[in-house]
Structure 1
Amino acid sequence: MSRIANVVSIAGVDPSGGAGVLADLKAFSALGAYGCGVIAALTAQNTQAVTGVHTPPIDFLRKQIDTLFADVRIDAVKLGMLGTAEIVRTVADRLAHFKAPFVVCDPVMVAKSGDHLLAREAVAMLREALLPQSFMITPNLPEAAVLLESGTPDSVKDMYRATERLREMLPTSGQRWVLLKGGHLPGGELVDLLFDGDRMIEMHARRIETKNTHGTGCTLSSAIAALLPQTAGDANGVEAAVRGARDYLLRAIAASGELDVGHGHGPVHHFHALWPQRPA
């Protein structure tokens, strides 16, 4: 697009900056988009654990969204941690009201530490109210299993069927995409599947051995949201946005050792291409 894209993250806040809205804003900025944020949850969190979650009053969440969209042209939306069924319903309602474009839904359910971030009763609401608003969903394998109420895919063949079933949960009209992330499969190669109901695209990459994987899902989905408006005029714009986002994330993971943040799963280096490179 000829003008700088405005992209909003509607998600939770991770004080350590590795995930959630703070990480999303870093990815937006690194990829040339102007970042906005709506806070759907506050967490007490570091690289090792989530010790508390606080959600804002629903009326205030609604006011955040309404006030932002009333003034700022929003070109894409990234959805992350929403927490409760009431939050999911409210976000879905406001996105429908404003006819939000390029909604990328990352169904955040469990933190890297293993702490649950989405109430069980919220999953049904996510299926019913939020997926119909989504241009793309980006679940990992455990999240796909929850959405499908099935076992976790444990092979690429299983991923194919899961991706097809996930696409069936999205509206049939217009462009709707599933990106199923295969990072939980064993082995040295990563395989993700991108599917629009017609074409299944396998995307491969080498696994990078590191413990610095905090916020990788948040970063990938926010990178896609940042790039979608910028590739919208291209014939293969969606595929280009996803490939660009994956390349950005893989480089951010590879450069994560330049950072020294916490004692658990450290963050990726969102500004690896912009900050001076540190000596190994």
Structure 2
Amino acid sequence: MTQLHTVLTIAGTDPSGGAGVMADLKSFQARNVYGMAVITSLVAQNTCGVRAVENVSVDFIKQELDCVFEDIPPQAIKSGMLASLEIIDLVADYLQDHQDIPYVLDPVMVATRGHRLINEDAIEALRQKLLPLATVITPNLMEAEVIIDRPLTDEVSIIRAGRDIQSLYQVKNVIIKGGHLEGEAIDYLFLEDGSIKMLSSQRVDTKHTHGTGCTFAAVIAAELAKGKSVSQAFSTAKAFITKAIETAPELGKGNGPVNHTTYKGE
């Protein structure tokens, strides 16, 4: 009998399939793990942008979580869009009782085309309640700026921010994705032991990057479920997302999705 590792995503939807739980489940499948999903928000979006957001009630999200944990316990958890203070409080309370499970926090705040996805009052709750529970967090440059509340313009400021996020919010491991800077696409992993691992790739000249953050974090969660280290998971996720962007299928009229099917590495 084949034993599949299990991974849960807690996030919003994307009917066009490129981001949110749709991207997460595709990424889990690509990495040969069994994916499950708890929906936090119904998002009417496509490659051209976000039209509307309806948050799921906290009571219903709690029932979703109970259904998963009572039946098929996850070996890793990834969260994405947690759009309100109440949703963050619920997820934090739930994770507090399951701190033995690796938790990847993708602090989704802004969609690819700039639409704000999180309430202002939820940002501080995310900082104080979720960051300390995470095995690793995966903000992009803009999200890291929101967390640390200052601009990040170069490598020096990114390194300082990574260290500060670790110390201020007791985060074990921090990944800051530097893809929005000029030059090579460099991602920075600040490890719990104080070391820094940097991975670079050639920048791909494409607008088709919808769902890259979701995909990157989902691959990390999949690898942690298999028992891989954060450093190993980081390397796999970097290779996966680079290939996914390079082979993006150019779907849609806006910022199209990446290709979740082409990376064949271990």
Above 0.5 in TM-score? yes
Residue in 2 aligned with 1:159?
Answer: 158
TM-score (norm 2): 0.95
Q: 2:212 aligns with which of 197, 212, 216?
A: 216
Residue in 2 aligned with 1:25?
Answer: 25
Q: 1:193 aligns with which of 178, 188, 211?
A: 188
Rounded to whole Å, the distance in 2 between the matches of 1:252 and 1:51 is 26
Q: Measured at CA, do residues 3 and 195 of structure 1 come closer, stay the same or move farther in structure 2, by a change above 3 Å?
A: farther
Q: How does 1:72-221 map to 2 (within 5 A)?
A: 72-99=72-99, 101-151=101-151, 153-171=152-170, 176-187=172-183, 189-197=184-192, 198-221=194-217
Contact 1:131 1:169 (8 Å CA) reproduced: no
Q: Measured at CA, do residues 112 and 93 of structure 1 come closer, stay the same or move farther in structure 2, by a change above 3 Å?
A: same
Rounded to whole Å, the distance in 2 between the matches of 1:171 and 1:113 is 31
Residue in 1 aligned with 2:224?
Answer: 228
TM-score (norm 1): 0.90
Residue in 2 aligned with 1:52?
Answer: 52
Residues 248-274 of structure 1, C-alpha deviations (whole Å, 9 max, x = no match): 111111111xx2421000000001247
Q: What residue ranges of structure 1 are gaps of 5+ in the alignment?
A: 275-280
* Alpha-carbon shift at residue 212 of structure 1 (Å): 0.6
Contact 1:66 1:94 (8 Å CA) reproduced: no
Q: 2:253 aligns with which of 232, 251, 263?
A: 263
Residue in 2 aligned with 1:243?
Answer: 235
Q: What residue ranges of structure 2 are gaps of 5+ in the alignment?
A: none
- Structure 2 counterpart SS, 1:154: coil
Q: Measured at CA, do residues 36 and 185 of structure 1 come closer, stay the same or move farther in structure 2, by a change above 3 Å?
A: same
Rounded to whole Å, the distance in 2 between the matches of 1:145 and 1:121 is 16
Rounded to whole Å, the distance in 2 between the matches of 1:273 and 1:196 is 25
Rounded to whole Å, the distance in 2 between the matches of 1:253 and 1:89 is 34
* Alpha-carbon shift at residue 221 of structure 1 (Å): 0.3
Which deviates more from structure 2 when the two are superposed, residues 90-99 or residues 75-84? 90-99
* Alpha-carbon shift at residue 100 of structure 1 (Å): 5.2
Amino acid aligned to 2:237: A
Rounded to whole Å, the distance in 2 between the matches of 1:20 and 1:136 is 18
Residues 52-101 of structure 1, C-alpha deviations (whole Å, 9 max, x = no match): 00011110111111121111121111110110111111111111123351
Rounded to whole Å, the distance in 2 between the matches of 1:3 and 1:132 is 31
Rounded to whole Å, the distance in 1 between the matches of 2:58 and 2:45 is 22
Rounded to whole Å, the distance in 1 between the matches of 2:155 and 2:39 is 35
Taking only aligned residues, the RMSD between alpha carbons, in angstroms, comes to: 1.5
Contact 2:212 2:241 (8 Å CA) reproduced: yes
- Structure 2 counterpart SS, 1:36: strand
- Structure 2 counterpart SS, 1:169: helix
Residues 134-159 of structure 1, C-alpha deviations (whole Å, 9 max, x = no match): 110001111111111112x1111111
* Alpha-carbon shift at residue 191 of structure 1 (Å): 1.2
Residues 194-221 of structure 1, C-alpha deviations (whole Å, 9 max, x = no match): 0124111111111111111000000000
- Structure 2 counterpart SS, 1:98: coil
